[in-house]
Structure 1
């Protein structure tokens, strides 16, 4: 009993607790990254669904209002193409990350730059969908 060093025991216990906390924080970080991707997917799904509604709304507006050109339907269709392009980039990002251990280091750096650009494009897709909505409301109010 004389060999027991309380200070050493206390230090070792603190190190074990720190390691457990570090593992929990790492797990939280990993889950947060997965959540971010899941929310990106949900946002893009909602934007695509809403844009499909806008396509129908523009089509109906052009049918019922004779002074609105049927070419206005291209406004939400172009936005849909933009959303599809962003989804394609996200798919390519996931495809690259699925084999990231086999990728050369310079490709990993390029991938990081492309990822940040995709995030910017996602923000632009939200803005473009808002602009399409404003255009629809404008046509609805004017005619």
Structure 2
């Protein structure tokens, strides 16, 4: 298969997984303050995403795919918020295990990876267009 077509497939798979990664990060950020609705109830648990390489038999290229969307098993931080609906008898509330700095760093990295894959697609399309123009001028 054409190397440009393989590059397009690899970049497209990269776009797909980075888009999914951005969705997971956005969900984590949106729920960063989502506590349980009863005393002692668990709050929102941070989602994680992992990737895996997959061989595309048609092109021989190694594509990337989402392997798993899991849950972060780290402990929930506890805050003293007496009167909160999810506060225990001592006034402590379990908070989500979402670290805003980590989520923002993940978002930035996913965005940069997405943009890099998009640039590969743009360059490949430009090369294909130039090749077609060269073939037209030769006939």
Instruction: Report the TM-score range of the alignment, normalised by the length of the smaller protein.
Output: 0.3 to 0.5
In terms of Rg, which structure is larger?
A: 1
Q: TM-score, normalised by structure 2?
A: 0.40
Q: Of Structure 1 and Structure 2, which has the larger fraction of its residues in helix?
A: 1
Structure with the bigger RCO (C-alpha within 8 Å, sep 6+) is 2
Q: TM-score, normalised by structure 1?
A: 0.39
Q: Of Structure 1 and Structure 2, which has the larger fraction of its residues in strand?
A: 2
